[in-house]
Structure 1
Amino acid sequence: MEYLTLNTGIKIPIIGSGTNTFGKENRDYMGEINHDTKELLVAIALGYRHFDTAIAYRNEAVVGQAIKQSGIAREEFFITSKIPGKAEYTNSAHAVEQAVQESLWALGTKDSIDLYLIHHPWENLEEMLAVWRVLESFVDNGVLKAIGVSNFTEKELGFLVEHARIQPAVNQIESHPGKWNQALIDYTKQQGIVPEAWGPLTRVSEEAKSILTTIGEKYGKTWAQVILRYQIEQGVIVIPKSHQPERQAQNLEIFDFALTKEERAKIGQL
């Protein structure tokens, strides 16, 4: 595994696993929680130590349960969760504090969470800043090791950068072929914030898969592995998700090759 260092000084695995359909009936995002940890335990056995969940996913407790069942020390894991950008969680300092406490209780991760994000922005920038200031207080007391945002545009991120006492550590954004969001990635990095790609293997066209497959054949890699390699070579954390052990394993097998400048340029045009 390779790591990036956040602006807090802590290290984060450059590959994590998405979890938004884990522990749910029929692997459906809206499915009932069934507390099935088998697929998470397979991922842990394969070497995943970075897991990304959220209050909105309703499965923080499933992720926490899998970590306990693994028998591996909590300190070996990097856990991200998120507070929804909805009034019931953000309309007062008490609401924000309650959300954080509920995440801690659900995850059961020894009174701390490695990274906590505002899941979605909303129109009122001052309200978002007020939420951020409550999250800063949890950083002050060591409950949240780092804080960041998700789906923030340059405008929203810039406002936070200008007014925050503690700078965001991560901006988690949609990034995949057809929507790399390169300008936002570049801006995020310029601010000393690490970009993180959710859904890096989603919505890939057949044309793009063909081009990526051709590139991958040179290295004995799949089109999906080429995408992930392209992202991490830019210093972007990737959060792929798969319920299939073979694909889970393949997503980790991207540290034994490097793309050429010409290949990166071709991929960047997809």
Structure 2
Amino acid sequence: MKTVTLNTGIKMPIVGSGTNTFGKVNHDYMGEINGDTTEILMAMDAGYRHFDTAISYRNESVVGKAVQESNKSRNELFLTSKIPGKEEYYVNEDAVKKGIEQSLQALNTDYIDLYLIHHPWDNLEQILSMWRVLESYVDKGVLKAIGVSNFDEQQLGYLIENGRIKPAVNQVESHPGNWNDAIIDYSLEHHVVPEAWGPLTRVSEQAKEELERIGKKYGKTWAQVILRYQIERGVAVIPKSHNQKRQEQNLEIFDFELSDEDKHKISEQ
């Protein structure tokens, strides 16, 4: 697995697995948690070592359970979770600490590789206050790296300017139809690794047709073309699938390189 080095020096697998419907009845995001670890263990067998969850997904405990059920040691795996940008989690320092401890307990781990603020809100000072608590957990070695999710240039820039520890990752929506180039370029410029959530979602049929045409040259699927395009421009990706074959295919993107012409065509989708 190819890795990307975060600004902390930590290496993060550049492809991870999303989990937001894993361990839930009918694979429904809002479904009841059923504790089913099948997809996570399947992904581990396929070669995934990076798993992305969140307090809001309600399934951190399922990820933690899968880690325990696997034959993998904790240091082989890279776990990402997120604290909500909701008042109950940022109202004061104790609320932030409670959220972090909630994640640690649910994941059944004494450290988290990457911990993100899940969403910004409209008070930069409050965001910075939450950030300072996350920084204190980095100091203790409990959070190995910290970052943000869904932050725009102003919000990310504020933390870069005023935080003691620079965000390591900015996880943003990025896929054909919404590549989100501006914030990705800004993140890269400031040595913050951009990470695409939903990289294979909301792809129009027209875009799929063009991506399939490009993929045929390389013997790859439209989805593999998208993922390759992202990692070639320095974007980490967290695709998600409940299907074993597609999980495997999403990792089979390191044996080809896109031409400049094809990258230009992809960027226009």
* TM-score, with length taken from structure 1: 0.99
Q: Which residue of 2 aligns with 1:91?
A: 91
Query: Does residue 223 of the first structure (1) align with residue 197 of the second (2)?
Result: no
Q: Distance in 1 between matches of 2:159 and 2:8?
A: 16
1:204-247 deviations in Å (ceiling 9; x for gaps): 00110000000000111000000000000011000000000010
Q: Which residue of 2 aligns with 1:193?
A: 192
What SS does the aligned partner of 1:218 have?
Answer: helix
User: Is there any run of 5+ residues in structure 2 with no aligned partner, and where?
Assistant: none
Q: Distance in 2 between matches of 1:37 and 1:85?
A: 27
Counterpart of 2:37 in structure 1: which amino acid?
T
Q: Which residue of 2 aligns with 1:49?
A: 49
TM-superposed deviation, 1:147: 0.2
Q: Which residue of 1 aligns with 2:155?
A: 156
TM-superposed deviation, 1:183: 1.1
Q: Which residue of 2 aligns with 1:247?
A: 246
What SS does the aligned partner of 1:142 have?
Answer: coil
Q: Distance in 2 between matches of 1:90 and 1:32?
A: 26
TM-superposed deviation, 1:39: 1.3
Alpha carbon RMSD of aligned pairs, Å? 0.5
What SS does the aligned partner of 1:252 have?
Answer: coil
Q: Percent identity?
A: 68
Q: Distance in 2 between matches of 1:64 and 1:92?
A: 27
Counterpart of 1:139 in structure 2: which amino acid?
V
TM-superposed deviation, 1:53: 0.1
Q: Which residue of 1 aligns with 2:101?
A: 101
Q: Distance in 2 between matches of 1:123 and 1:72?
A: 41
TM-superposed deviation, 1:74: 0.5
Q: Once superposed, which parts of structure 1, at least 4 consecutive aligned residues long, lie more than 3 Å away?
A: none
Q: Distance in 2 between matches of 1:164 and 1:190?
A: 17
Counterpart of 1:82 in structure 2: which amino acid?
K
Q: Distance in 1 between matches of 2:236 and 2:95?
A: 30
Q: Which residue of 2 aligns with 1:209?
A: 208
Q: Distance in 1 between matches of 2:90 and 2:56?
A: 14
Q: Distance in 2 between matches of 1:194 and 1:72?
A: 26
User: Is there any run of 5+ residues in structure 1 with no aligned partner, and where?
Assistant: none
Matches within 5 A, 1:128-139: 128-139=127-138
